[in-house]
């Protein structure tokens, strides 16, 4: 990558420094496309600026996080090709990169915050908090935490403890407005009444996301936090915590924040994790290419140029600029995703395409036995498939006629193609095909053309019954090349079988 193409690095780093970004999902289940878009933008930003991509696992929620989903997440990232410089499997100067293995660090930071007065124990019970919140609401006042335990005397604390109350650790928000420049949205100011003091450690001592996420960003020296818009509301309180960490010497500097736009699904609703359309595994199983899917996902909030949708990962990295990310919600459009993927399939060299289809030519996707697969036939038909399929899984139905003993039996296709006088047409076509040169698709085409003419049918109408007789389907790869590759004997036998069925 030429240095000239590298856009200037946004705050807080200046010339000569390299950014450190992070991708830090919770390992809950199979990743959704919104999360993949976040990973992609962080990765592209890091690669564009020759920075460092940190991959951290936020697995502090023991109830929801499983080893299996952790493995799944790593596997997904590897499949996508979004490599990381520090993180699981790679290690790095800030290891470990799994929060479940960093509990001592959080405990230590929480104690320092308490000791220095940036945080305080809060003894309020849930019922008390609820009652006071309802009262504040009724009076039209801000309904967040009211600061009740901010400045308890030592005697009051002792009394609460004597009552057997437990306490959470609550962070003390400063009493002034917080202003920051979002890399996507520009300047944002939040008034103190909108950001009440908030919990950072549970009564049982378990640290919360509100603490561990910024603490790790600080310890791992993250310079730019690029994440989904849903986290925008937590940014002012994280900035306040960051400032405390800087004053305590735990953090060097507050990172810059950029919030990526929402991804909208069907009916203009936010694409939710539970939406079937949102699951990365779905795209993998359908045979999206990682670069096709990533190319499409990069268009959710960003564009390389007007009127340009298709580009490689290298081009994306060279052009990516966080300043070009649009704050407006982006709509996930499956048709467009498929179109972009199809273009990437066309761009592969034939050999790569032929190999990439491997899984869809085997169980559990392919209905034929492994012994029935013929690599030579596959290699010959692959180039015709490459220019036609949208996703790699399309391949199975497109080539099954080559490997199945008999073509698939599809009632609807049969009825659609066997119109008029199919017996007369197929009988004539068979005679011409028998006499044709089977090493030349042109000769096979002329055979069907001539047969059609004899019955007053154009080529399109004449070839439909032949196609269904031989492949079982009304649509598929170019017919005459398909016939040539299947071979004379099998093709004619299938026409005979169709004639027998029509006679029966």
Using the 8-state DSSP alphabet, how is residue 119 labeled? Answer: E
Residue 231 interacting entry, from ligand GLU, Zn ion, none, C-beta within 5 to 8 Å by type:
ligand GLU
Min dist CB 152 to Zn ion, Å, is 8
148 is an interface residue for Zn ion by CB under 5 A: yes
464 contacts which partner out of Zn ion, ligand GLU, none, CB within 5 to 8 A by kind?
A: none
Q: In whole angstroms, how far apart are CA 170 and each of 43, 103, 176?
A: 34, 18, 18
* Sole binder of ligand GLU in the list 231, 408, 431, 502 (CB under 6 A): 231
Q: Binder to ligand GLU among 72, 76, 167, 213 (CB under 6 A)?
A: 213
**Rg value, the chain, Cα:** 31
Task: For the CB of residue 229, give the shortest distance to ligand GLU in the complex, in Å.
Answer: 11
Which of residues 213 and 482 has its CB atom nearest to ligand GLU in the complex?
213
Q: Which of 13, 19, 21, 25 binds ligand GLU (CB under 6 A)?
A: 25
Task: Please choose which of Zn ion, ligand GLU, none residue 122 contacts, taking the beta carbon within 5 to 8 angstroms, the exact cut-off set by kind.
Answer: Zn ion
For residues 327 and 184, the answer to whether their CB atoms sit within 8 Å is yes
**Exactly one of 9, 19, 26, 320 binds ligand GLU (CB under 6 A); which one?**
26
Helix (H), strand (E) at residue 317 = helix 313-319
Helices (H), 87-164: 103-115, 126-138, 154-162
Instruction: Give the one residue of 34, 51, 53, 58 binding ligand GLU; rule: CB under 6 A.
Output: 58
C-alpha distances in angstroms, 83 versus 44, 69, 79, 482? 10, 18, 10, 41
- Among Zn ion, ligand GLU, none, what binds residue 342 when CB lies within 5 to 8 Å by partner kind? none
Residue found under tokens 């200037």: 8
Please identify which of the residues 157, 273, 377, 461 carries the catalytic annotation: 273
Distance CA 100, CA 62 (A): 8
Helix (H) and strand (E) counts in the chain = 20, 11
Stretch binding ligand GLU (CB under 6 A), from 18-26, 68-76, 82-90, 346-354: 18-26
Which region among 22-30, 40-48, 103-111, 449-457 touches ligand GLU (by CB under 6 A)? 22-30
What is the C-alpha separation between 205 and 448, in angstroms, rounded?
Answer: 79
Q: What is the DSSP code string of 82-98?
A: ---SBBTTTB-TT---B
Closer by beta carbon to ligand GLU, 48 or else 227: 227
CB of 251 to Zn ion, least distance (A): 26
Site membership for Zn ion, residue 173 (CB under 5 A):
no
Q: Which is nearer to Zn ion, 92 or 147 (CB)?
A: 147
Give whole-number Cα distances, 370 to 157, 352, 363, 394, 403, in Å.
Answer: 73, 21, 8, 19, 9
Examine the residue annotation and report whether 351 is marked as an active-site residue of this protein: no
Lay out the site mask for Zn ion across 97-126 (x = CB under 5 A, - = otherwise). -------------------------x-x--
Cα–Cα distance for residue pair 49/31, rounded to 1 Å: 26
- Smallest gap from Cβ 191 to ligand GLU, in A, equals 23
Name every residue whose Cβ is closer than 8 Å to that of residue 63 and which is 6 or more positions away in sequence.
none
Query: What does the DSSP 8-state code read for residue 370?
Result: G
Under the criterion CB under 6 A, does residue 24 sit at the interface with ligand GLU? yes
**Measured from the CB of residue 97, what is the shortest distance to ligand GLU in angstroms?**
13
Asked if residue 191 has a cis previous peptide bond (ω within 30° of 0), the answer is no
Question: How many CA atoms lie less than 13 Å away from 26 in the CB half-sphere?
Answer: 15
**Per rule CB under 5 A, is residue 133 in the interface with Zn ion?**
no
Cβ count within 10 A of residue 102: 20
Residue 240 C-beta: closest distance to ligand GLU, Å: 15
Show the tokens assigned to 42: 């962080």
Q: CB-wise, 96 or 199, nearer to Zn ion?
A: 199
In the bound state with Zn ion, the residue whose beta carbon lies nearer, of 148 and 243, is 148
Q: Which does 213 bind (CB under 5 to 8 A by kind): Zn ion, ligand GLU, none?
A: ligand GLU
- Binding-site size for ligand GLU (CB under 6 A) equals 7
Q: How many of the chain's residues bind Zn ion (CB under 5 A)?
A: 4
Sign of the four-CA dihedral 402, 372, 356, 390: positive
The closest of 251, 229, 244, 240 to 183, measured between CA atoms, is 229
Residue 177 beta carbon to Zn ion: minimum distance, rounded to whole angstroms: 24
Alpha helices in 411-487 (DSSP H): 411-417, 422-435, 441-454, 459-471, 479-486
Closest by Cα among 170, 176, 180 to 200: 170
CA distance 121 to 119: 7
48 forms part of the interface with ligand GLU (CB under 6 A): no
For the CB of residue 231, give the shortest distance to ligand GLU in the complex, in Å.
5
Site residues, ligand GLU (CB under 6 A): 24-26, 58, 213, 227, 231
Site residues, Zn ion (CB under 5 A): 122, 124, 148-149
Q: Which residues are catalytic?
A: 273
């Amino acid at each position: 990558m030429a240095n000239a193409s590298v856009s200037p690095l946004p705050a807080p780093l200046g010339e000569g420094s390299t950014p450190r970004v992070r991708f830090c999902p919770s390992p809950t289940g199979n990743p959704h496309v919104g999360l993949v878009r976040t990973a992609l933008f962080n990765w592209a930003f890091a690669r564009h600026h020759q920075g460092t991509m940190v991959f951290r696992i936020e697995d502090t929620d023991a109830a929801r996080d499983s080893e299996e989903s952790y493995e799944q997440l790593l596997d997904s990232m590897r499949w996508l090709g979004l490599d990381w410089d520090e993180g699981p499997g790679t290690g790095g100067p800030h290891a470990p990169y799994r929060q479940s293995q960093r509990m001592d660090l959080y405990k230590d930071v929480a104690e320092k915050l308490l000791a220095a007065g940036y945080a305080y124990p809060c003894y309020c019970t849930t019922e008390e908090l609820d009652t006071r919140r309802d009262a504040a609401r009724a009076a039209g006042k801000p309904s967040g935490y009211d600061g009740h335990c901010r400045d308890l005397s030592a005697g009051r604390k002792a009394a609460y403890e004597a009552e057997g109350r437990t306490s959470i650790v609550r962070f003390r928000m400063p009493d002034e407005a917080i202003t920051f420049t979002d890399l996507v949205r520009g300047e944002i100011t939040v008034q103190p009444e909108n950001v009440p003091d908030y919990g950072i450690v549970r009564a049982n001592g378990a640290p919360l996301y509100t603490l561990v996420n910024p603490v790790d960003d600080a310890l791992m020296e993250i310079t730019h936090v690029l994440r989904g818009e849903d986290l925008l509301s937590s940014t002012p309180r994280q900035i306040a915590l960051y400032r405390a960490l800087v004053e305590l010497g735990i953090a060097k500097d507050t990172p810059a924040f950029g919030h990526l736009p929402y991804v909208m699904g069907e009916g203009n609703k936010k694409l939710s994790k539970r939406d079937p359309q949102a699951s990365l595994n779905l795209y993998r199983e359908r045979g999206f290419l990682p670069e096709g899917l990533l190319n499409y996902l990069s268009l959710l909030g960003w564009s390389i140029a007007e009127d340009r949708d298709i580009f490689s990962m290298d081009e994306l990295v060279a052009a990516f600029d966080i300043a070009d990310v649009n704050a407006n919600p982006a709509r996930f459009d499956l048709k467009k995703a498929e179109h972009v993927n199809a273009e990437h399939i066309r761009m592969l060299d034939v050999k790569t395409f032929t190999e990439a289809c491997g899984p869809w030519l085997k169980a559990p996707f392919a209905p034929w036995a492994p012994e029935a697969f013929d690599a030579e036939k596959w290699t010959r038909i692959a180039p015709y498939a490459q220019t036609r399929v949208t996703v790699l899984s399309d391949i199975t139905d497109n080539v099954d006629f080559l490997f199945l003993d008999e073509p698939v039996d599809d009632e609807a296709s049969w009825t659609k193609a066997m119109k008029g006088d199919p017996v007369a047409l197929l009988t004539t076509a068979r005679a011409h095909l028998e006499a044709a040169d089977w090493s030349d698709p042109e000769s096979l085409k002329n055979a069907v053309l001539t047969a059609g003419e004899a019955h007053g049918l154009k080529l399109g109408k004449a070839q439909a019954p032949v196609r269904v007789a031989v492949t079982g389907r009304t649509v598929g790869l170019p017919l005459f090349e398909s016939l040539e590759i299947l071979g004379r004997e099998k093709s004619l036998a299938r026409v005979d079988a169709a004639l027998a069925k029509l006679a029966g």
